[in-house]
Structure 1
Amino acid sequence: MKTNDKLAHASSQAADLFSEKTGQLKNAEQHLVDNCRGYVHDNPLISLGIAVGLGFLFSRLLGNR
């Protein structure tokens, strides 16, 4: 029974750590999205140029298949 308690405790700790890391990733994602929105708002023409350039690049890369 001692082994079961150890396994349950380790499992609980792993679940807590996973939950904490998930929260950190969500916060980092939201921070990145907020930064991107701010950049696009402050630099709309540059953002449009980047989007067009990336679209062209992806179409060239995927169009050759």
Structure 2
Amino acid sequence: MEIIDKAANTANEAIDKVANATNQAAEALGKKGEQLKNAEQQLLEDCRVYIRDNPITSVGIAVAAGFLLSRLISRT
């Protein structure tokens, strides 16, 4: 029975370590996800400000991008 108890304790310790590592990874991913979300919101706001301040340039960029995309897509 002593061997079984030792094996059970070892297994429980291993499970605790894995659970702890998993929790730490989940927390880190949650923080990174929040940082990415904030970065996305800031980028969108920067784009809105640029478009509001430079409407003609923005339309020109959109037309050029659309033209390039259509050329790339029509070749395949």
* Pair in the same fold by TM > 0.5: yes
Structure 1: runs of 5 or more not aligned: none
What residue in structure 2 maps to residue 26 of structure 1? 37
* TM value normalised by structure 1: 0.96
The percent identity for this pair of structures is 51
Structure 1 ranges of 4+ moved more than 2 A: none
Mark the structure with the bigger radius of gyration: 2
Q: Distance in 2 between matches of 1:43 and 1:55?
A: 18
What RMSD over aligned residues (CA atoms) do the two structures have, in Å? 0.6
- Highest RCO, 1 vs 2 (Cα 8 Å, sep ≥ 6): 1
State the aligned residue count.
65
Structure 2: runs of 5 or more not aligned: 1-11
* TM value normalised by structure 2: 0.83
What residue in structure 1 maps to residue 51 of structure 2? 40
